[in-house]
Amino acid sequence: MATHTETALYSPYGAFELKARYQRNFLYGTLIMVAVVILIVAVSWLISKMGEVEAISDQVHVIKTVAELGPPPTIAKKPPQVKVEAPQLSAPKVGIPKPVADDEVLDEDVVLATRDEMAEIVAPDITTESSGDIVVDIDEDEFFPGMDDFVAVEKQAEFIDRVKPKYPRLAEQAGIEGKVWIKVLVDLDGSVREAVIYKSSGTAALDKAALDVAKENKFKPAIQNGRPVRTWVAYDVDFIL
C-alpha cells in the first residue's frame, strides 16, 4: 500500500485536466487570433476608403452660377505655340538698287515688239455664237482621237476581214499558250491606222505575232451623224494549241 506522499506526488489529476481542456483552449485561441486579424484588415480597408472619399470631395467643385462655368475648353486652352526660327538670309551682294533714268537702263534679254509688229500678229479664226460660247471649227478629217479618249458614236466599228496570226514556231514547240489584247485605231475607210498591245499575254513571241498582223485587218468604220469617224477598237487574239 502506497503512502500519502506518494499518492499526492503521482496523482493523475493535473495531467488529466490539461488534456481534457487542451482542445477547447486551442480552439478559443485560434478564434481570437482570426478575429484580431480580420479586425486589423477591416480597419485598414476603412481608413483607405475614407482617404479616397476625402480626395474625391476635395476635387469636386460645386458650381452655383453660370458665370462660374468659364469659357469653353477649346477657347480656354490655346494650342501650343510652335517656335519657328527665322530663315537665315544672306545679305545682297550688290547693295540696294538706286533709281536711274530710263535712258541708262540696259537690258539686252528683253525684246519689245513695235506697234507695227503688234498689228501684223493675226488672231486665230474663232467665231462666237449668240449664246457667247466660243466655237473652234476643226476639220473632222484631221481629228485623231487618243487611245483613251471617248468618242461618241451611233454605231461601233465591226470586223469585215479578221486576219489570224501565225503561231510562233518556238512557242508552239514549247507548248506555250496565251491571250493577247490588241487595240487599233480604225480609220475613216475601215483600215487600221495604228495598233498597240493593250494587254500582254506574258510571252513576247505571242504579242509580236498578234501585233504584226493587226494592220492587215479590215473594219467597217464607226458611224456618227451618218458619217464615219475614227475610233479605237480593242479585240483579243487567242493562241491555243
CA distance linking residue 216 with residue 219, whole number of Å: 10
CA distance linking residue 210 with residue 109, whole number of Å: 55
The model's pTM is 0.43
Q: What is the pLDDT of residue 105?
A: 61
pLDDT at 158 over 50: yes
17 vs 218 pLDDT, higher one: 218
Burial class (CB in 10 A: 0-12, 13-18, 19+), 210: buried
pLDDT at 129 over 60: no
Mean pLDDT throughout 48-74? 67
pLDDT band at 128 (very low <50, low <70, confident <90, very high): very low
Residue ranges covered by each domain of the chain: 4-59, 145-239
Q: What is the pLDDT of residues 104-121, one digit of tens each?
A: 665 555 566 677 776 666
pLDDT at 132 over 80: no
Q: 114-118, 136-140, 204-208 — which one is most confidently predicted on average?
A: 204-208
What's the CATH architecture for 145-239?
A: 2-Layer Sandwich (3.30)
pLDDT at 10 over 60: no
On whether the CB atoms of residues 234 and 181 are closer than 8 A, the answer is yes
Q: What is the pLDDT of residue 96?
A: 66
